[in-house]
Structures are given as C-alpha cells and as structure tokens.
Structure 1
Amino acid sequence: MRPLCIAAFIQALALSAWAGPLEDAAAAHQRGDYATAARIYQTLADRGDANAQNSLGVMYLYGQGARRDYTQARKWFRQAAALGSPAAQFNLGEMYFRSQGVEQDLLEAARWYNRAAEQGHSRAQFTLAAFYLIGAGVRVNPQKAAYWFERAAAQGHAEAQQELGKMYGAGRGVPRDLVSAYKWLALSRANARTDVVRNSASRALQHVAAAMTPAQVSEARQLASVWRATPSKVRYQ
C-alpha cells in the first residue's frame, strides 16, 4: 500500500473512531445536557477534531454550560478553521461582523465568510453576497453578489433565492430575466421559514408577475416545480 493511501486509511479509521463520541456529544448538546456535551467535545477537541472544536466554540459563544467566553470561543473557532472547518470559518466571520468579543472588522469578517463560502457553507455564501451587494468589507460588486446568492439559492436558502430573484427582476449583476426572477421568488416563498421572508417574497413576486405574459408565468412556474435543491455536505453548527 502506498504511503499516501496508508495515511488516508489511518485518518479514516481515526474519524470513524471519533464519530460515535461526537454524535453522543451532539445529542447531549441538543437535549440541553451541556455538561456531558462539553466534556466529550473537550476530549475530542484536544485530540484535534475540528467538528468538536467548533462545537466547543459554539458552547462558549452562547454560554451553554458555562459563562459566555468570547475569547475561548474565538480560540476554538480559530483552531477548527485552521483545520478547514467551514462552520468555524463562518462563526469567526460572525464574531467579527457582530462585534462578539472583538471590535467590528468587516474586512476580517469578509475574509472568513469567503473561506467558508468557497467550501459550500450556504449562510456564508448568503452573507458574503450581501457584503458584495452593499460594499461591506469588500468593494461593491453586483456580479459577485449574484454569484454567491445563486450558490446559496441552489442549496435551498430562501433569503438567497429571494435576493437572486430580485436581482434577475432588476437586471442587477445578471441580465434581466423575468422568468428566472419569478422562479427564484416562487421558490423563496415556498421555502421560507418565517412569515417575514414569505410575505416579502410574495410582494416581490406580484411585482414581477405584473410585467410578465401568461406564457412567461407558466414557464417560470414549471421551472420552479421541477427544481430540486443541491445541498452541500458541509456540517453546520
């Protein structure tokens, strides 16, 4: 067996061995047994498990089982991010964006959002797109905004679908395309988890439909009906 194959095999065995404890910790975390979750996460985090490091950071960030500690949260997010965890990279972006234990730094936030977005993290993709749309931490770039909105939208992110639909409707960052606008707005309304997003999508949908022919509306509805999300394999927390 070649050295690289052996290394990959050993890593796979290690990840398999940790999968059970990590799942146990996640279950404890979910049911509010923070003491158990923290104990298992800490053990795995000390061994270099990026998922456990990120989850431990989340517990410190929200004060779950212990006093909220932004310094510890940032420490564990950074370790997990260095190991390539997109969830930790996103969480670091959030800390710099929302001034959680640090002064707001939009440049640093954008940098971490970008790293997570490139790995398929839909919330990072959406936030990075919004940054490009308004020029937060990056130069205004409607084309890049549309690019990242589309990638988040493809995963079923309702807010991204709505923003993408609006961009197609206005021809901002993408060629004006009312059929695509209607499709994405209809999907946003269908996938919305809150009334605010759903109602906003409905209003935008009515506005776009008023400028369309019946044939265009029919085409857009057909496209929306056959659309299926292509979710990333990224683990979120």
Structure 2
Amino acid sequence: MKNKIFYFLILFFLSFLVSCEKKSSISSEKEGMDYYKKGEYEKALPLLEKSANSGNAKAYFYLGEIYRDKDISTSCRNYKKASEGGYKEAFFKVGLCYYVGEGIEKNDSEAFKWAKKAGDELNEIQLSNDDKKHLMLFIGDFYLTGKGTLQDFSEAAKWFEQAAELGDERAQATMAFFYYSGQGVLMSKEKSKYWAEKAAAQDNEIGEFALGMLNQFNDPPAIKEAVYWYEKAAEKNHEGAQYELGVIYEKGVGIEQDLAKAHHYYKLAATSGRSYLVEELSNFEKRHNLKGTP
C-alpha cells in the first residue's frame, strides 16, 4: 500500500513539474510577444528563446521572424522547428527556406511538402492576400514544372486560378494560356479571353500577348486587334509578341505589308538570344536579301 501511495505521489509531482514548465513557457511567450508587437526585439528575444527551449513551437516561429532580416540562416532554422512542432503559420516560410537553401539544405521536395501543407491549411492560417497569392503561385509553379513533385497541370491550374481570383496578374495570364491550350482545364476561348483581359487591364505583357494570339488566331482573324495587343506587349520586351509582329508585317495578311517593320521586330525578338529567334531573323534576311545582326 505504501508503495502505491509513493508511486502516485511521484506521478503527481512529475505532472506538477510539467504543468509548471508549461505555465512558465506560456508566460515567457506572452511577455515576449508583448515586446515583439511593440518592436522591442532585444527584450522579446530572451523570453521567446526561453519559451522555445521548452518546446513552444509558436515561440520558435517568432524567433524566426525576429532573425529574418538580420540572420536568415538562424531564422530558417527556427521556422523549421516551429513547423516540426506543428505551428501552421511557419509551414510556408520553412517551405521557402528549403526552396532557397538558407539555414537548411536546399530541397525542392521538402519545399513543396511544406508549402502544400500550408496550402491545405489555408483557412486556418492568417495570411494577407499578397501572401496567399504568393503561396498559391508557389504551389502552382511546382505542379507546373514538376519540381519537388509530379508534374500535374490540373493541380497547377487549380492553384493558379485561386491566385487569379485574388487578382494576381501573372496567375491571370497563366490561366489565359491554360484555357487557350486546354492544359489542366477544359479548353475555353471565352475563359481564356476573360483572364487575358483581366491580366492586360493590369498592364501585364503576358496577358497582352495572349489577347494578341486570341485575335490573330480567331475565326475569322482580327489582325489589327492582334497587332494592337502585340505592340503593347512588344514595348515591354515580350519576345513572342515581337516575333509575331515580325511575321504579321512580313506576310502582310490582314494588314499592309511592311518589311522594314518586320525586320525591326525580328531583330528585337532576336536580342533575347534565343537560338530559334536568332535563326528566324537570319532566315528573314536571307529571304529578302538583307544584311544585319540583332
């Protein structure tokens, strides 16, 4: 009987110690957070470190925030500990750390894993609209390229469209091409035009290029409209738009032929250094007995 009483006393004592540690950790975190919110990082640091050393994942996250602008390696190590402790706000940040390889070894698979975990918890994480768009684009790019995960155009389109709906111009332009090509979504010229117009309204050259394509390859073609949008994109050094203007002015279909303008745009496109565009310029000059280099 005495042994049983002693055993229960030990259990009670140990649970009391754990309870005290948790209270101490929470107290340190709260006090540290108060200083953090005031921007008094020197005072916040030791309190958050004390709380983190007791296993507080949230404290690790805010240590990561404090170190972010002065020691990215230390910042990333703290984000990692916060993520491993289940603190959801840190998931995307540790994903970015794995992507750039700061403080932890670069690893695209780990970067995708943590970003996707953040994406799956999006409704539970407090992120600004800009950070949400950034996260959606980040995940979409992984699915689009097949880096860190299997290439999956339908998943890429799902994430890009969410970012597009939040107003991101690059996502809107990307969705224009998804709907134009039918990659990852059902082909729809109407939806392609919708997203291209949204992107172009934000002065996005890829959206302008998409509108040029939609008009050029329409049935029937609207070449003057295509030229209008291509020229806007070409002014922003979009090489695809510059090349298509070269083709249009060389052929003179739907618009007056102008070989001087065609040569000008072929040369502009070739300045990108892309081999096929340099070759197209060379072929144009051979066809018309011209000399010149980009």
Q: Distance in 1 between matches of 2:234 and 2:288?
A: 18
**Residues 119-138 of structure 1 mapped to structure 2, 5 A cutoff:** 119-135=202-218
The structure 1 residue matched to 2:285, chosen from 201, 205, 209, is 205
RMSD across aligned positions (CA): 3.5
Aligned-residue offset at 1:129: 1.1
Q: Please list every run of at least 4 consecutive aligned residues from structure 1 whose deviation after the TM superposition is greater than 6 angstroms.
A: 17-20
Structure number with the bigger relative contact order (C-alpha 8 A, sep ≥ 6) is 1
Alpha-carbon distance in 1 for matches of 2:137, 2:200: 17
Cα offsets for 1:114-141 (capped at 9, x unmatched): 32233233333323312211106xx521
* Distance in 1 between residues matched to 2:110 and 2:233, nearest whole Å: 35
Residue deviations 1:34-92 (CA, integer Å, cap 9, x gap): 32255247548932421221221222344443445555433322221112111111222
Taking the aligned partners of 2:113 and 2:223, their CA distance within structure 1 comes to: 42
Does residue 1:168 correspond to 2:243, yes or no? no
3-state SS of 1:60 partner: helix
The DSSP-based 3-state class of the residue aligned with 2:187 is coil
**Does the C-alpha gap of structure 1 residues 117 and 41 become closer, same or farther in structure 2, counting only changes over 3 Å?**
farther
Paired residue total: 193
Give the % identical residues.
25
SS in 2 for 1:76: helix
Q: Is the 8 A contact 1:77 1:91 kept in 2?
A: yes
- Counterpart for residue 100 of structure 2: 27
Alignment of 1:118-157 (within 5 A): 118-135=201-218, 140-157=221-238
Q: In structure 2, do the counterparts of structure 1 residues 42 and 80 end up closer, same or farther at CA, with 3 Å as the change threshold? A: farther
Which stretches in structure 2 are left out of the alignment for 5+ residues? 1-64, 73-92
Alpha-carbon contact 2:266-2:277 (below 8 Å) kept: no
Tell me, in whole angstroms, the C-alpha distance in 2 between the residues paired with 1:183 and 1:66: 42
2:234 is paired with a residue whose SS is: helix
Match in the other structure for 1:191: 272
Match of 1:108 in 2: 191
**TM-score normalised over the length of structure 2:** 0.53
- Counterpart secondary structure, 1:119: coil
For residue 56 of structure 1, what is the aligned residue in structure 2? 139
Query: Which residues of 2 match residues 88-107 of structure 1 at below 5 A?
Result: 88-107=171-190
